[in-house]
Structures are given as C-alpha cells and as structure tokens.
Amino acid sequence: MMEVTKEERRVLIIQLIVVIVGILLLLAKFGAYLLTHSNTILTDALESIINVVAGIFALYSLYLSSKPKDFDHPYGHGKVEFISAGFEGILIGVAGVLIIGKSIFAFFHPLVLEHLDIGLAIVIGSGIINYFIGFTLEKMGSNNNSLILKAGGAHLKSDAYSSFGILVGLIIIIFTGLNYLDNAVAILFGFLIIYTGVKLVRKSIAGIMDEADESIILPVIKHLSEQRKAPWIDIHNLRIIQYGNKLHVDCHVTLPWYFTLEKAHNEIEEIAAVINDKHATQVEFFIHEDPCVPTSCKICTIENCVERKEKFLEKIEWNLANVSRNRKHGL
C-alpha cells in the first residue's frame, strides 16, 4: 500500500482545486470570446486550455512523485516533476504560436468586436483569480521544493499578467475604436507566452540532466559553514541532485584520521542532521569519510591536537569553488 504524507495529500488536494478552477475559467473565457470575437480574449482562452491540460498532468505527476522508493526506482519517483514542467512549457509554447498565427490571420479577415464590456469584466475576474492561485502555488512550491508547484504558479501568474495586459489593450480599443490593435496586443502576448514556455522547458531539461543549481547548493554550503565544527576539517566533492521535492546529497568529509569508526559515524550523522533541520523537505545523504593528511594541519582548527604535524596557518572558508572540487582543502 502506498503511503502518502499529510503534506503530500494537502498538495494533491490543492492541485485538484487548481484544475477545477481552471476548467471554470476556461469556460468563462471562451464564452467571452464568443460574445466579443476578440482575438485578445481568445489569447487568454487558449492559454487557459494549456492551464487545464498542464494542471491535470501536474496532478498525476504529483501523485507519482509522492510514491515511495521501490526496487525499480531506488531514488524515488520525483524526477517526473521535471517531465511535467517540461510538458507544460511545451504546451505554453504551442499556445503562443497558435495565438500569433490566429492574430495574423485576423489582420486579413477581421471580425467586428462586440460586447467588450462583458469581456473586460471576465478578463479582470479571471486575472485576479489566476494571480491569487499562482501566488499560492509558488509559495507552496518554494516551501516544499516542488518544481511542479513553482512552474504551475509561475504559469498562472504570467497568465494573470497577460490578462491585465489584455485589459489595457481592450480599454485602448474601446476608447480609440482601432480594432486592429486587438490583433497587435494578441501577437505581443503570444511572444511573451512563448518566452514563458521556453524558460520552463529550459528548467526541466536542467533538472533531468542534473545540472548544478546554485539556488539549492549555496544555502546548503552557507548553513554548513555557520554550523561548522572543528573536526569537520573540510567538505569537498559536494553534489546535490533534486528528485521532486527531495534532495540527494553526495559529498566527502575530511575528519581526523585517529577518530574511531563510531566517532566518525557520529560526526557524519550530525552533518546530516544539520542540513535536515534547515530544510523542510527530506534530504538524503551519501557521505564518504576521508582521513586527514599532514598538509591538513595547516587549515585544521582543532586546538591542542596531539597528532598535529604542521603549524596551523589559516582557516579556509567554504565556498562553491572549494566545496565542489574533488580534493581535500589545503594551502
């Protein structure tokens, strides 16, 4: 039986609500398009289709990522979140292309715009709702380290910005009577939508390829430095891989060579506890213990060490460059 945590269940319920709201907004926007014949409003409606499809796929992906590790997936199922974000980015890009194509066609085959006041009301309402939901999803995604939620939140917020931009365009059309601006505004936001899609695909590929993410690595290094103990002579060959909302950390730690196996193990456990206390999401550690060497004495801050071979010269501050390298620190 699959076990789902309370937090994972809450995230699934919220994503389900997002999908339901997205469907209702989709119906409202297409109703507004049928009333107004506005390509600008059609732009909003087409992007709502993407919201719904992406939301359903994200819901299923969150379900998969919440499944525990098994024999076939020893690191869990969290990588599906990157696939979901990439899929959403592709859909957003396709919507942008369709919007631009439809708007260019409308320059040559224009329709009479009608009932723009009703269209304005629907655009305003949907924009406010999307921004509120997007802000909530982004905040939850940051708290849970979930790319799916952050991608969905960013998408809905960009949809809200588009809605407000479309609102400005429709107001200009109402006061100037220049209906061709409807198509021009739609083309502009079509390009902005494509840009949003490309960014999501780029983020997805980076996650699948395990590209180093400084926004994750740097806080870990900073927190370890703040909690650093003298026996932790250095940490090197640090690598962090994200699996959904879980982090996997590989690193080497240089400890005094004369520590017993039990004492060295306790130090490693303390390092793991330091990081897990800092992060709301689960962090898994594979830490390799390295014995210190005579040259380590120059940077070792252990006082009154009876095994010291060389005089202490300088404490080396940990940073991305020296912690990521696959070698012990030294002068």
**Tens-digit pLDDT profile for residues 264-281:** 999 999 988 888 876 656
Return all residues near 146 (Cβ < 8 A) that are at least 6 apart. 11, 62, 65, 81, 140, 244, 245
Evaluate whether 248 touches 75 at the Cβ level (below 8 Å).
yes
pLDDT of 153 above 90? no
Mean pLDDT of the chain: 79
Percentage of the chain beyond pLDDT 70 is 84
- Read off the pTM: 0.61
Task: Tell me where in the chain the CATH 3.30.70.1350 domain(s) lie.
Answer: 214-324
Average pLDDT over residues 240-251: 78
Who contacts 27 (Cβ-Cβ below 8 Å, separation ≥6)? Answer: none
Going by C-beta distance under 8 Å and a sequence separation of 6 or more, which residues neighbour residue 17? none
Band (pLDDT 50/70/90 cuts) for residue 244 is: low
Right CATH for 6-208 from 1.20.1510.10, 3.40.50.300, 2.40.40.20, 1.20.1090.10: 1.20.1510.10
Query: How large is the average pLDDT for residues 3-26?
Result: 78
Q: Which residues pair with 251 in a beta bridge?
A: 287
| 7 close to 141: Cβ distance less than 8 angstroms | no
Task: Please give the single-letter amino acid code of residue 263.
Answer: K
Instruction: Please answer whether residues 232 and 271 qualify as being in contact, where contact means their C-beta atoms are separated by less than 8 angstroms.
Output: yes
- What does the pLDDT read at residue 51? 75
Q: Where in the chain is the domain with CATH 1.20.1510.10?
A: 6-208
pLDDT digits (tens, 9 = 90+) for 42-94: 766 776 777 787 778 778 877 777 776 667 766 666 677 777 778 878 877 88
The architecture of the domain spanning 214-324 is 2-Layer Sandwich (3.30)
